Chain A
Amino acid sequence: ETGVTQTPRHLVMGMTNKKSLKCEQHLGHNAMYWYKQSAKKPLELMFVYNFKEQTENNSVPSRFSPECPNSSHLFLHLHTLQPEDSALYLCASSQDPRGTGTVYGYTFGSGTRLTVV
C-alpha cells in the first residue's frame, strides 16, 4: 500500500461505454497527476492538478475528462474510447513543487489496467 489508491484495478469497456477511474490519496499532497503507460512506450503525462486547479493538459483527446473535486481525490472520466486507449493508467501525487517541493518524489498508485474492446 503506497498511500495512493486507484480503483478499479482492472476495467474492460466497450467503445460506446462511459466509465470513470478513481484515485484517492491521504498523504497531505496537493498536486495530483494522471499518466498513461502503454506497452513499449514512455510514460505519458496526461493531466496535472495543483491545489485542485488543472495546470497542464498535454493535448489529451476530449474523450478523457479529468475531475479534481478536492486535493485528495482525482477522477478520469472515459467515454467513446478507442482500442488504442488500452493501457495502464497511473495516478500519482506529490507535494507542491513550488519552493523546496522539488526535492519530493511522486507517490504512485498501482494503476488501472484498461482494456477497450
Chain B
Amino acid sequence: GNSVTQMEGPVTLSEEAFLTINCTYTATGYPSLFWYVQYPGEGLQLLLKATKADDKGSNKGFEATYRKETTSFHLEKGSVQVSDSAVYFCALRNNDMRFGAGTRLTVKP
C-alpha cells in the first residue's frame, strides 16, 4: 500500500541552523509528494510539492527533491528562523493523500 514515514520529533534548533527532516515513502505507481506545515491553532498549509522523479519543490527557503531511487523526499532549509517553528507533514498522493505522523520543529532565538 501507500505510506509515508517521517522522522520523529521534536526537533529543536537555534536560529540560522540548518534543517533536515527526513521522509521516506512506499507507493505503487508514480505518486506526487508534498510537504505541509501547520502553525499553532491553524490547519495544514501546502509548503511545497514535486510531481515526478528528480523534481525539486521549493518555497520560502525550504527545498525537497523527489528521489525515486531512495524513495525519499527530505525537507531542508539552510537557515531556520523562529517563525519556522511549526509541525511539518510529509505526504504522498496516488489517489487520496497519505500523511506522515508529523515532525514538530522549535527554533530558539
Is A54 among interface residues, defined by CB-CB distance under 8 A? no
Is B62 among interface residues, defined by CB-CB distance under 8 A? no
User: Would you call A105 and B99 a contact (CB within 8 A)?
Assistant: no
Is A66 among interface residues, defined by CB-CB distance under 8 A? no
Q: Which stretch of A13-21, A68-76, A79-87, A106-114 is in the interface? A: A106-114
Chain A residues with Cβ under 8 A from B31's Cβ?
Answer: 102
Which residue from B36, B42, B91, B102 sits with its C-beta under 8 Å from A111? B42
User: Would you call A105 and B49 a contact (CB within 8 A)?
Assistant: yes
What separation, in Å, do the CA atoms of A6 and B49 have in the docked complex?
A: 25
Binary A-proximity of B53-66 (CB < 8 A = 1, otherwise 0): 00000000000000
Is A8 among interface residues, defined by CB-CB distance under 8 A? no
What separation, in Å, do the CA atoms of A33 and B99 have in the docked complex?
A: 14
Which chain A residues numbered 15 to 30 have a C-beta less than 8 Å away from chain B? Answer: none
What separation, in Å, do the CA atoms of A84 and B96 have in the docked complex?
A: 26
Chain B residues with Cβ under 8 A from A94's Cβ?
Answer: 97
Known: A90-B44, A103-B32. A97 touches B99 (CB 8 A): no
Which residue from B36, B51, B99 sits with its C-beta under 8 Å from A103? B51
Number of A-B contacts (CB under 8 A): 57
Give the contact-size bracket for chain A: 20 to 34
For A41, give the chain B residue with the smallest CB separation.
B101
Which residue from B32, B42, B46, B99 sits with its C-beta under 8 Å from A107? B46
Say how far B4's CB is from chain A's closest CB, in angstroms. 10
Binary A-proximity of B70-102 (CB < 8 A = 1, otherwise 0): 000000000000000000010101111101111
List the interface of chain B (C-beta within 8 A of A): 31-32, 34, 36, 41-46, 49, 51, 89, 91, 93-97, 99-102
List the interface of chain A (C-beta within 8 A of B): 2, 4, 6, 33, 42-43, 45, 48, 56, 90, 92, 94, 97, 102-111, 113
Q: A4-B43, A92-B44 are in contact. List 16 more A-B contacts (CB 8 A).
A: A33-B96, A42-B99, A42-B102, A97-B93, A102-B32, A103-B32, A104-B32, A105-B34, A105-B36, A105-B91, A106-B44, A107-B46, A108-B36, A109-B43, A110-B42, A111-B42
Task: List 9 A-B pairs, Cβ < 8 Å.
Answer: A42-B100, A42-B102, A94-B97, A97-B93, A97-B95, A102-B95, A105-B93, A108-B36, A111-B43
